Structure 1
Amino acid sequence: MEIMRSEACIWLILITAVLLVYWQVGDHEFINYDDNVYITDNAQVQKGLTSNGIIWAFTTSHTGNWHPLTWISHMLDCELYGLNPGGHHLTNVLLHMANAILLFVVLRWMTGAIWRSGLVAALFALHPLHVESVAWAAERKDVLSTFFWMLTMVAYVHYVNRPGGKRYFLVLVTFFLGLMAKPMLVTLPFVLLLLDYWPLNRFKPRAVTGSVEDQPLGFRSFGDDKSPILKAVMEKTPLFLMSLFSCVVTVMAQQEAGAISTLEIVPFKLRIANGLVSFVAYMGKMVWPLDLAVFYPHPVSDLQIWKPVAAGLFLLIVSTVVLLVAQRCRYVLVGWLWYLGTLVPVIGLVQVGEQAMADRYTYVPLIGLFIVVVWGFADLVKGWRSRRWVVSVSAAVMVLALMAGSWLQVAHWKNSVKLFKHALDATSNNYVAHYNLGNALALQGKLTGAVSHYNKALQINPNFAEAHNNLGNALALQGNLTGAVSHYNKALQINPDHAEAHLNLAVGLDRQGKHQEAIQHYAEVLRISPHDAQSHNNLGVALAEQGRLKEAVAHFTEALRIDPNFKEAQRNLDLSLGLMHKSSAGSDGKTR
């Protein structure tokens, strides 16, 4: 009865604390960084749950990922809430809450340690580093995939408790569902091997920690086998094969999207150096979670050599200490390898995107360090007379401090302006933050501020084609058409296949009366994006203005084929056909 009361108390604490910290997201807006790609500018998602949408979710590599369950979850939110951002954010909060509870349940089941498991779950639920995964609507893939990660762990412990084909099949199903939400789960089979070592104790018939709580009964052991580790690996072969499949699909999708940086852009030595620094930086932010930002610029050639050397030395020292205490405190080895291993896919060896690191990447990896901290602290004070008082006060202070830090961090995600202003305060040389803040200000009509931030982004990164394009848009709205055309041209010098820059340049040239040049750029847009109805319409208008009505009619017709409800294209088609008819009638009259 006492155990049930303790478990119920922990559930209540987790639910209440998460709601207190994250309830404010109900009033938050969508962010102009990926939320548009996933939700606000995504026609497939906005239609809600449809058969065509579900087929699209399973067949698209849009955003450089194959994660059909993530797409379907966004569609379901649009079905329920439309484009009300509060509903989308609430779903993330509920999933995060479920993840914290499932983490507590599975740790409690494996170790028998109620309050230690509860504190690990609380650290996971309330740490400021995890705010990004929850408060950012586009990061649904984090909280959703982790939900299936936790379910897979629950299913695995269920299987280990009483092995059987049906129970193992449940492990496979939950794992594959997780991979369809985000490929981050590729490291989960490795984590299950760690759990076999501790706390499931499958390599030895009895635990060596000496703690009753660390000796759960009923789990199948490999202790009597000659090669227990090999047998454990073989048991997980289907999971490793599924991970391999997910890795191949993900790399193909990211290459198709052009998201993977080449070795010429980010050399392999720099990737290793930045990875070493990131391992240590995440640990530092776990202990002192200040200056958190939505984007951390990659140092590229600016990484000082002492940083990776110091980071590598630090990691070596910590790993040595871990090995020295591993026999006596096996949770230390498991937690440390959990942290290192689950970060490998996102540490930057395969550089995806322009960031050096990201808070969201710590969502699952930090669980390993939380286990080390909580179990280690419990062992440290084991012989103290005032142990219960010390542990209770320390846990309460830690939880309250994390709640306060996370509440403040969640507030920064109120809207794009607040988010990127905070990113600029927390980092230096952040051209992405300047660019997105410029976008947010431009949307509010604050063009002077937008132009200022676009220019600052370009001072840091002169080869930022998107910033040139959007600076051109802001200048055009200010009436500076010459400046706008100049920046559109610069964007195209950097990226000749930038369809939007071609379109904007064509419109600008049209307004300058340079119709023939405009037609060339409209044609380039259609070469790059042949199914762009708006560009077919624009090219048709430019052709019609030059008297090339037959060609114009062809493009208006194609625009309507792509989008039958395109009223402007229909009006232009009717007008052009009318002009052609008048021209034909006039010619017939002269002939007679």
Structure 2
Amino acid sequence: MSAGRMLPARIDERHKTTQRVRRPWIGALCLVALVLIAYARVFPAGFIWDDESHLTRNPCVVGPLGLKEIWTSAQAVYYPLVLTTFWLLHKLAGLTPWPYHLLNVLFHAGSAVLLWQALRKLSVRGAWFGAALWALHPVMVQSVAWVTELKNTQSGFFYLLAILWFLKWRDQFLERESPGGGSSHTDAGRTTMRRSLVLSLFFFLLSTLSKPSVVMFPFVLALCVWWQGERIQWRDILAIAPFALVSAAAGLWTIWEQKFHARAIGPDWSQSLAERLVIAGRALWFYLGKLIWPDPLIFIYPRWAINAAHVSSYLPFVAVIIALAGLWCLRAKWARAAFFAAAYYAISLFPVLGFFDVYFFRYSFVSDHFQYLASMGPLAFAGAAIATRYDWLGCSRRVAMPTMAKPGPAVTQRVLIGFCAGLLLMLGAVTWRQSGEYRDLVTLYTATLAKNPGCWMAHYNLGIVFANNGALEKAIAHYRQAIALRPAYAEAHYNLGRLLAEKGELGDAITEYEAVLKINPDDADAHNNLGVALSQTDRVEDAITHYEKALAIRPDDSAVSCNLGAALLAKGDLDGAINRYLECLAAAPTMVDARYNLASALLRKGRFDEAIFHFQKALALVLTTRMLTRIWAAPSWRRAGSRRRLVSTEKRYNLHQIIWPRKATWPGFSQRRPILPCATAWKRCDWRSRLSPQGHEDHAGPSFCASWLRPTLKRVVSLRPPKLLKRRSRRRRLSKIQH
């Protein structure tokens, strides 16, 4: 027999008996142990890119939403089973990273064991070795070390379970059709067959709900039927039909989700059919090359410049077609196994070869995590080729390998066992080294830029990391690098403008915001921030124009309404400012800036009672927010008692309503403007009697009030919640404030 031939069970029935393993649990434990050792550096790692949207800042997982929204709305990225897993794990472990990494690694280890069993079911030689090659291959690191890619590992686990149950149904069906299969004709036998098929469909549903990219599963089942030496008959088509319906629904949903939810729309996804053929051909050979020689492995590979005008660009795609056709023609001689592996590889990769728009294609047309499931085919073929060529793999009972043929000379066995052990050791070492790059964002993006200096996305995300850590100069440098690599990068221009404005370089900030609006004139945030910068440079009229454009794009934006009111107030249009603030507070009653500015406008208008009312409301919000911040930062075992005692000076505010709007409304109040004394001290005395009988209202402004209420201002600015908030005894307290 020639190298690489994997015998189907129907061709060699004797080989089917040799697949029995004396102690399969030993082989399973070996696979799990190898995976845990190879990925040991993953456990102390933190969260990285995209983990925010899927987990750490996902309102469906850590915020006010929950399981209902995960399963019934598009507010979360629609991987409902993975988000449910995150939700459950968050309830148990919070946002401590290592439990999420451990679960990801365990799913991968479990998938390796299931792959071994599936290969045995398919009578593939070297099944354990092929599964070990897949489990330890460095290309899998991106899926296993990245918490977001629990989508891959969880989906792969259920994917393999579905294959195993389908193959079990096939075995039961063939046993029933055989002359000696009388027991399968009973009602119990038919029930067992139906149960196997239903369980296969159930696990496929779980796999699809984890990640819809498994939509090629029905074709994989048909390929398995062909591999087992059977013609695909109507009974097989009827059995596969439910899987095809689920795949069609998942595929259509994914196409819609990528285009309209992930927003894979624009010039980055405007390739013609000819260009997509070029991408598909290059991608297939690229992925295969990474399996053969996994170096360098990059988080974001360079994005190819596609030129469909050159005939040579089509050579990779033509080579794929010729290779598949050649293997098909030679299937009856020696290429059956090679065709099976190649067809599985191409079929599994088809959704990510560029024929459909995927948001990730904005950064690169290829990524290691795209071939997580597809790589099983070539690596299993490699294991089978070694086992078949030398007829030795599995001779050792110490590792519970299946015996496949008479062992060769002892020296040859030792050499080959040493070769395969060394190969696994090398793959494990590279995996161990590669997984260290996923320790944190700075490490990951630094390694990415070392291998791909033109990765503008890495520069941009490093800018975000350094900006969040307060290293503004480093952040600005990385934003400028991202813009140099991608001049039309609106997000980088926007963030650079924001940091320049924070540094006080308003002229440069205005230039960056204007660059954003040249790229995307409908960016409401850019209009708003440009308006703020223009207001600070006394260009109030221009600022009002941009605020109005922002509101035309996003009419319900309370922050823009508040800024427009401030601009109108600076212009002297008190009535216009008051109307804007009232509209803003109707949409966002807890917005402190709007409440304070409204009170200031009313004060200047001479509507003193209304001004006092809104000053009191603003102070109540400030005190409540400060108290809530302390409660939120406290350990969970202290929060319950703190929430029971929380009573504001005006009314008790719901924690659920305050803590989330606070993030958007509180930063603008950091200047601690002289609103604070206006609620307590002004309420105690008739401050209006201090005005002259002639009614010099100009003395009633905030500067006048601050001058004689300065002691109160200093006392209230310190904001000591235990002294300022009312308390009630345990018997007289009101109902608990909801979380």
1:366 correspondence with 2:370: no
Q: 2:73 is matched with which residue: 48, 60, 72?
A: 60
1:103 correspondence with 2:88: no
Deviations 1:34-66 (A, max 9, x none): 12221233222213xx8x522221233357x53
The residue aligned with 1:416 is 441
The residue aligned with 1:91 is 103
Deviations 1:246-298 (A, max 9, x none): 11111122221321456983232222112211111111111111122222243
The residue aligned with 1:80 is 92
Mapped partners of 1:62, 1:391: distance in 2: 54
Given that residues 274 and 308 in structure 2 are in contact (C-alpha distance below 8 angstroms), is that contact kept between their aligned partners in structure 1?
no
The residue aligned with 1:379 is 388
The residue aligned with 1:433 is 458
Given that residues 413 and 419 in structure 1 are in contact (C-alpha distance below 8 angstroms), is that contact kept between their aligned partners in structure 2?
yes
| Alpha-carbon offset, residue 462 of structure 1 | 1.0
The residue aligned with 1:224 is none
Q: 2:138 is matched with which residue: 119, 128, 131?
A: 128
1:177 correspondence with 2:206: yes
Q: 2:257 is matched with which residue: 244, 248, 253?
A: 253
The residue aligned with 1:267 is 272
The residue aligned with 1:210 is none
Mapped partners of 1:124, 1:573: distance in 2: 64
> What letter is aligned with 2:351?
P
| Alpha-carbon offset, residue 515 of structure 1 | 3.8
1:334-345 matches, cutoff 5 A: 334-345=340-351
The residue aligned with 1:346 is 352
Distance 1:571 1:464, change over 3 A: same
Mapped partners of 1:45, 1:539: distance in 2: 35
Given that residues 22 and 93 in structure 1 are in contact (C-alpha distance below 8 angstroms), is that contact kept between their aligned partners in structure 2?
yes
The residue aligned with 1:22 is 39
Mapped partners of 1:426, 1:253: distance in 2: 32
**Corresponding residue SS for 1:299:** coil
The residue aligned with 1:39 is 55
The residue aligned with 2:641 is none
1:288 correspondence with 2:276: no
**Corresponding residue SS for 1:451:** helix
1:582 correspondence with 2:608: yes
> TM-score, normalising length from structure 1?
0.85
Given that residues 543 and 552 in structure 1 are in contact (C-alpha distance below 8 angstroms), is that contact kept between their aligned partners in structure 2?
no
> What letter is aligned with 1:165?
R
Given that residues 553 and 576 in structure 1 are in contact (C-alpha distance below 8 angstroms), is that contact kept between their aligned partners in structure 2?
no
Mapped partners of 1:127, 1:319: distance in 2: 25
**Corresponding residue SS for 1:44:** coil
| Alpha-carbon offset, residue 413 of structure 1 | 0.9
Given that residues 328 and 336 in structure 2 are in contact (C-alpha distance below 8 angstroms), is that contact kept between their aligned partners in structure 1?
no
Distance 1:539 1:70, change over 3 A: farther
**Corresponding residue SS for 1:201:** coil
The residue aligned with 1:188 is 217
1:232 correspondence with 2:236: yes
Identity of aligned residues (%): 29
Mapped partners of 1:359, 1:141: distance in 2: 14
| Alpha-carbon offset, residue 345 of structure 1 | 0.2
Distance 1:413 1:313, change over 3 A: same
The residue aligned with 1:146 is 156
Mapped partners of 1:544, 1:94: distance in 2: 60
Distance 1:486 1:152, change over 3 A: same
| Alpha-carbon offset, residue 142 of structure 1 | 1.3
> What letter is aligned with 2:240?
K
Mapped partners of 2:42, 2:598: distance in 1: 46
**Corresponding residue SS for 2:487:** coil
**Corresponding residue SS for 1:46:** coil
**Corresponding residue SS for 1:296:** coil
The residue aligned with 2:517 is 492
Higher mean C-alpha deviation, range 82-91 or range 312-321: 312-321
Unaligned runs of 5+ in 1: 204-227
Mapped partners of 1:494, 1:508: distance in 2: 19
The residue aligned with 1:551 is 580
Unaligned runs of 5+ in 2: 1-18, 174-192, 392-405, 612-687, 689-693, 696-739
Distance 1:12 1:551, change over 3 A: same
Mapped partners of 1:393, 1:290: distance in 2: 23
The residue aligned with 2:627 is none
Mapped partners of 1:412, 1:584: distance in 2: 59
| Alpha-carbon offset, residue 376 of structure 1 | 1.5
Given that residues 599 and 610 in structure 2 are in contact (C-alpha distance below 8 angstroms), is that contact kept between their aligned partners in structure 1?
no
Mapped partners of 1:442, 1:584: distance in 2: 41
Mapped partners of 1:473, 1:479: distance in 2: 10
Task: Give aligned pairs, total.
Answer: 552
Given that residues 293 and 423 in structure 1 are in contact (C-alpha distance below 8 angstroms), is that contact kept between their aligned partners in structure 2?
yes
Q: CA RMSD in A?
A: 3.0
| Alpha-carbon offset, residue 173 of structure 1 | 1.7
**Corresponding residue SS for 1:445:** coil
Higher mean C-alpha deviation, range 481-490 or range 381-390: 381-390
1:440-589 matches, cutoff 5 A: 440-529=465-554, 532=557, 534-546=559-571, 547=574, 548-560=577-589, 581-582=607-608
Given that residues 578 and 598 in structure 2 are in contact (C-alpha distance below 8 angstroms), is that contact kept between their aligned partners in structure 1?
no
Deviations 1:115-144 (A, max 9, x none): x22222212221111111111122221112
- When Rg is computed on C-alpha atoms for both structures, the one with the higher figure is 2
Distance 1:556 1:520, change over 3 A: farther
Distance 1:536 1:300, change over 3 A: farther
Mapped partners of 1:567, 1:318: distance in 2: 67
| Alpha-carbon offset, residue 499 of structure 1 | 3.6
Given that residues 133 and 139 in structure 1 are in contact (C-alpha distance below 8 angstroms), is that contact kept between their aligned partners in structure 2?
yes
1:201 correspondence with 2:216: no
> What letter is aligned with 1:11?
A
Distance 1:137 1:234, change over 3 A: same
Given that residues 279 and 306 in structure 2 are in contact (C-alpha distance below 8 angstroms), is that contact kept between their aligned partners in structure 1?
no
Deviations 1:535-577 (A, max 9, x none): 45545544555531122122023113xxx5x555555566666
> What letter is aligned with 1:191?
V
Distance 1:183 1:297, change over 3 A: same
Deviations 1:454-495 (A, max 9, x none): 222222211111111112123223332211121112112212
Given that residues 100 and 124 in structure 1 are in contact (C-alpha distance below 8 angstroms), is that contact kept between their aligned partners in structure 2?
yes
> What letter is aligned with 1:511?
Q
Mapped partners of 2:145, 2:563: distance in 1: 39
Given that residues 135 and 410 in structure 1 are in contact (C-alpha distance below 8 angstroms), is that contact kept between their aligned partners in structure 2?
yes
Given that residues 149 and 175 in structure 1 are in contact (C-alpha distance below 8 angstroms), is that contact kept between their aligned partners in structure 2?
yes
| Alpha-carbon offset, residue 337 of structure 1 | 0.5
Mapped partners of 2:604, 2:196: distance in 1: 72
**Corresponding residue SS for 1:292:** coil
Given that residues 378 and 391 in structure 1 are in contact (C-alpha distance below 8 angstroms), is that contact kept between their aligned partners in structure 2?
no
Given that residues 260 and 352 in structure 1 are in contact (C-alpha distance below 8 angstroms), is that contact kept between their aligned partners in structure 2?
no
Distance 1:463 1:229, change over 3 A: farther
Distance 1:453 1:238, change over 3 A: same
Mapped partners of 2:75, 2:138: distance in 1: 29
**Corresponding residue SS for 1:27:** coil
> What letter is aligned with 2:377?
G
Given that residues 553 and 577 in structure 1 are in contact (C-alpha distance below 8 angstroms), is that contact kept between their aligned partners in structure 2?
no
> What letter is aligned with 1:467?
A
Given that residues 509 and 517 in structure 1 are in contact (C-alpha distance below 8 angstroms), is that contact kept between their aligned partners in structure 2?
yes
Distance 1:167 1:437, change over 3 A: same
**Corresponding residue SS for 1:457:** helix
Given that residues 544 and 552 in structure 1 are in contact (C-alpha distance below 8 angstroms), is that contact kept between their aligned partners in structure 2?
no
